[in-house]
Structure 1
Amino acid sequence: MNDTEILERIGNTKEKILNEIHKIIVGQDRVIEEILIALLSGGHILIVGVPGLAKTLIVKTLARVLSLSFSRIQFTPDLMPSDITGTEILEETASGERYFRFVKGPIFANIILADEINRTPPKTQSALLEAMQEYKVTVAGKDYDLPRPFFVLATQNPIEHEGTYPLPEAQKDRFMFQVNIYYPTENEEVKIVETTTIGYEPEVSSVLTREEILKLMDVVRRMPVAPKLIEEVVQFVNLTRPSENSSVPKFIKEWVSWGASPRASQYLILGAKARALLEGRPVPSWDDVRSVALPVLRHRLILNFAAEAEGVTSDMVVEKLLNLV
């Protein structure tokens, strides 16, 4: 199948994916779309939301619809790096010869849900973040490649911080998106209660295979982007960085300590390309960039005390900046 045929079919495929997921998940269209965009871009996601909003169920259902292996890791204070990556065990043959055999950890799956990543010490967090970056784990000096696609969704609880180990800003920057999940509407909650208290779980069908997903990821990487759009994205990201440059808005200088890194520019372009592909378009536009700007930038802006004192959030800063361009 060539790229043109893929573009013709992808719009219908997106609808099929949403229809299958909505057999189990009520609402959350924005969250599902952002997860699909990050997956096709080869990025990872940091999910922030209070308990009980179906974060695990969304990811598990998506894995079933996309024919991908799924693994959930519950991060706790006593979790060790080897509990994630795997370890070597000593075995003995019938002849008495001893050897080490590597037993793979739960990280060897296509989709990883790292539940409450901020509840485990930095050493264990680093083991996961290194695997996210390198797509492999190293045990006893030997490298083991992770399955592709490899997609990590790490969750954080925004209301409980006692006994946690917050991710440093440099490690947050490795996540393509920060996706915020909010409470459902009243009508959605009524439907949730109706469908989850009757003892019936609908069957979902697979829409894509692993090979087709890898093909779509390759199409995203090869999708052309207008040089002007790249320049506009870089200029936009530069506006998040407080400096003496006269083009930087006054509110950025007042509220922001540190702006977004060049990685933000890369992810804005990749996210725009993936969104264009899901819409069946051959090239991304500025509207695609606007659609992914919030999840790309909200965890990359470090606000100062003045912003906190005024109740200003990073979402408010990004939206205000988008209104200027």
Structure 2
Amino acid sequence: MNTLEIKDIAHRLQSNVAKAIVGQHEAIDLLFISLLSEGHILFEGVPGVAKTLLAQSFASSIDMRFGRIQFTPDLMPGDVLGTNIYHFETSKFVLTKGPIFTDILLADEVNRTPPKTQAALLQAMHEREVTIDGTHYDLGAGFMVIATQNPIEQQGTYPLPEAQLDRFLFQHILDYPSRDDERRILGLHGHRATMPHVRDMDLQPVITLETLKAMRKTVSEIQISTENLDYIVDLVRGSREHPSVRVGASPRCGAMMARAARACAAMEGRDYVVPDDIKRIILPALCHRLVLSPTAEIEGIRASDVVSQLIEQVKAPR
């Protein structure tokens, strides 16, 4: 598979998801980049901005298994992973698999469950396997987490720990739509009394697991120059040295950004990375990884402000 074929698939994916979702083109692109990069993505936004519908529509465009977990305050790790149950008839323990055993997993409102249950995702997101009673279970090459969360200021939410945030390639904020997009949403879904069902949207899969493997192989072979690698390193290291930051981005972030930049190039039909590919992913890849200093928080400085300063201060290669 070549990069022009990947570009065509990206366009077909956008068109397919657009049958259910109005606007949100950047979010759909980030989903596709995450898929190509073997990464996970976190969407944040107030209720009602189509976080769940977006994830379901994207999953419906991929011919792989889809699972959903609605995270609640009383959810336990075993409800996510599964558990071994003793069968008296056979005198053996038999694993009852949890919903995490899928390809595309929607972790809906992930910050509404306590940290103990959030941690059930840590090994799965990093190693794509889970351990239950000492036995390792592979989740497959296609495993991807699409998580949603409400702003942490809302009641009944638990902020995700830094170790878990670092496992997300991207975090993207879903804002309210523009007036024109909101008018189109009413025209598309305004006749329904409940949330629209994806199965009624005539969404057709445009990606299979074999296609995904071929695309990922192509992405891994895309060239990235020494200058562009240095640019990523300088951005990551600059986040640690910024006076408003207490904890900056990890080396894992830099490795993820290099992979994501290759995926961006493939989406544009190129077999080489340019600085604009890196600039495209800086904000969603860096912001959620920064822990601001107490002084910065008091002054109202946001992580996005810090990243914007880094973009201005760190010189991009020509």
TM-score normalised according to structure 2 size: 0.92
What secondary structure does 1:108 align onto? coil
Task: Give deviations 1:164-200, integer Å, cap 9, x for gaps.
Answer: 3222222211111111111100110111111112358
Q: Which residue of 2 aligns with 1:31?
A: 27
Q: Which residue of 2 aligns with 1:220?
A: 219
Q: What is the Cα deviation at residue 68 of structure 1? A: 2.0
Cα RMSD (Å) of the superposition? 1.7
Alignment partners' CA distance in 1, 2:253 and 2:297: 23
Q: What is the Cα deviation at residue 40 of structure 1? A: 0.8
What secondary structure does 2:289 align onto? coil
Alignment partners' CA distance in 2, 1:141 and 1:264: 30
Q: Which residue of 1 aligns with 2:52?
A: 56
Unaligned runs of 5+ in 1: 243-251
Q: Which residue of 1 aligns with 2:231?
A: 232
How many aligned residue pairs are there? Answer: 308
Unaligned runs of 5+ in 2: none
For residues 242-321 of structure 1, the aligned pairs below 5 Å read 242=241, 252-253=242-243, 255-321=244-310
**Equivalent residue letter for 1:204:** L
2:52 touches 2:148 (CA, 8 Å); kept in 1? no
Q: Which residue of 2 aligns with 1:16?
A: 12
Q: Which residue of 2 aligns with 1:73?
A: 69
Alignment partners' CA distance in 2, 1:170 and 1:204: 35
Q: What is the Cα deviation at residue 98 of structure 1? A: 2.4
**Equivalent residue letter for 2:238:** L
Task: Give deviations 1:260-284, integer Å, cap 9, x for gaps.
Answer: 1112211221111011111111011
Q: What is the Cα deviation at residue 29 of structure 1? A: 0.2
Q: Which residue of 2 aligns with 1:204?
A: 203
2:3 touches 2:218 (CA, 8 Å); kept in 1? no
What secondary structure does 1:299 align onto? helix
Alignment partners' CA distance in 1, 2:86 and 2:273: 53
Q: Which has the larger radius of gyration?
A: 1
2:170 touches 2:285 (CA, 8 Å); kept in 1? yes
Q: What is the Cα deviation at residue 126 of structure 1? A: 1.1
**Equivalent residue letter for 1:283:** Y
1:176 touches 1:296 (CA, 8 Å); kept in 2? yes
Q: Which residue of 1 aligns with 2:141?
A: 148
Alignment partners' CA distance in 1, 2:228 and 2:182: 40
Q: Which residue of 2 aligns with 1:137?
A: 130
Alignment partners' CA distance in 2, 1:33 and 1:307: 31
Alignment partners' CA distance in 2, 1:106 and 1:147: 14
1:50 touches 1:159 (CA, 8 Å); kept in 2? no
What secondary structure does 1:165 align onto? coil
Alignment partners' CA distance in 2, 1:303 and 1:154: 23
Q: What is the Cα deviation at residue 159 of structure 1? A: 5.1
TM-score normalised according to structure 1 size: 0.90
